[in-house]
Chains A and B, each alone.
Chain A
């Protein structure tokens, strides 16, 4: 499994990759982007099995990514505040996690 972590805060990205590593030691969690621009570019070039997507990115709201390119990979949204939950369900999200992230919730989402 190869994941992409889209997150504009380094500490938050660290925390997430650490948790995923703990729960799924075999997964490749090394890929990161921090903006819509970069994410769209990376998605065009590489293949992933799962995307962790923060809603508020450094250059806008991540839903914009779905307008720009087709995303067939399942998405787990992570956000600090839940006003976007409804919108998230319209795109192919498998779960919606609130920050600070909870290990058990993440575990449930991965299952």
Chain B
């Protein structure tokens, strides 16, 4: 079941999990507050489960080809400078076998030491510590591996006694194997480091995309359920009073929701499209609020080919209605005017007493514009008026 995890080439998956629980802690906390996710807990819980001993067999099996290749090529080193090897086939084969075995065992040892070191610590958490741990594993495993192969060939293949074999063993004999494993290890560690690094970069990009996506989602939710249910309620009385109007109302309502769905994946829309949508939305609101809601719209031809962020205009209008008194004695006046570089939405300020404002709407608009243009969304609040200026995006890059 966990073969995938045990496979060395997929070993990075384990690191990915670990990365999430550490480096991205800050980022995920940020998401946490905004959307109530709990990715941190999830990954930490997973992390503990993931720290399992990597089975040697599975590890070596998945790297069998690499080990064999190192053995075959590295084995040549043992016979290249050995003159007698080229005179007798038996000597050649024996030497090639022993040399190749050294390479294979030491390569396997290297892989194991990298895997063990990876398991005990991720590269990017503490590179120095990780390096020292890797080094320790390497030296220990190399010495053990070397002794096993050495004694195997001396005792089993050449038929010497254990004492005899041990007596010819010189401390200098370890230098060669250590040199080999050092090289293999450097290669393996470098590889694991690069993989971890790349994965980290991928994770970061993913995270960024996700954040944008969630911001977009929450924005889409701004066309809120209050609006829908209030509209449906208004419709129930319209159906009795004025059937033609009710039909028109349903048509406009469906236009509004179709637009929200259609622009779901768009970053910007032509100002005309947004205005059509806004007019449908205004129609619905006028039915609900009648003379209590007044508006004035002026979009000069010169501005018609500009772009804006979808639904931003409607959100501002919805905000104005949500936060201000819209009554017969105190009607709300909204102006939507396009000028040189900005589209301005202005309303007379007559705030409701109890505002359950989250401020998400406006900051969402600001965030979304920040991805599209360097010009900022300008918000002006005076004693009498509230005004938001949306930058007009002239061309889509």
Contacts and interface: CB of A to CB of B under 8 A. Distances in A.
A14 interface: yes
B225 A9 contact: no
B292 A101 contact: no
Contact of A59 (B236, B237, B290, B353): B353
Contacts of B289: 8-9
Given A34-B327, A36-B353, A58-B325, A12 B233 contact: yes
Given A60-B353, A81-B225, A81-B226, A9 B328 contact: no
B237 A14 contact: yes
A56 interface: yes
B288 interface: yes
A99 B326 contact: no
A90 interface: no
B147 interface: no
Interface string A20-63: 00000000000000111000000000000000000010111101
A59 to B, nearest CB: 4
A11 interface: yes
Contacts of B325: 35, 58-59
Contacts of B234: 9, 11-12
Q: Give the interface size bracket for B toward A.
A: 20 to 34
Contacts of B236: 15, 100-101
Contacts of B240: 15, 18
Q: Is the interface of A mostly helix, strand, loop or mixed?
A: mixed
B233 A35 contact: no
A8 B233 contact: no
Interface bin, chain A: 20 to 34
Nearest to A15: B237
B352 interface: yes
A44 B113 CA distance: 84
A103 to B, nearest CB: 10
A98 B230 CA distance: 10
B85 interface: no
B292 A100 contact: no
A56 to B, nearest CB: 7
B326 A58 contact: yes
B326 A14 contact: no
Interface of B: 225-226, 228-230, 232-238, 240-241, 287-290, 292, 325-330, 352-356
Given A11-B238, A34-B328, 7 more contacts: A14-B237, A15-B236, A35-B329, A60-B354, A61-B352, A80-B226, A100-B235
13 contacts: A8-B326, A9-B234, A10-B290, A12-B234, A34-B328, A58-B352, A61-B352, A64-B354, A80-B229, A80-B230, A98-B229, A99-B229, A101-B236
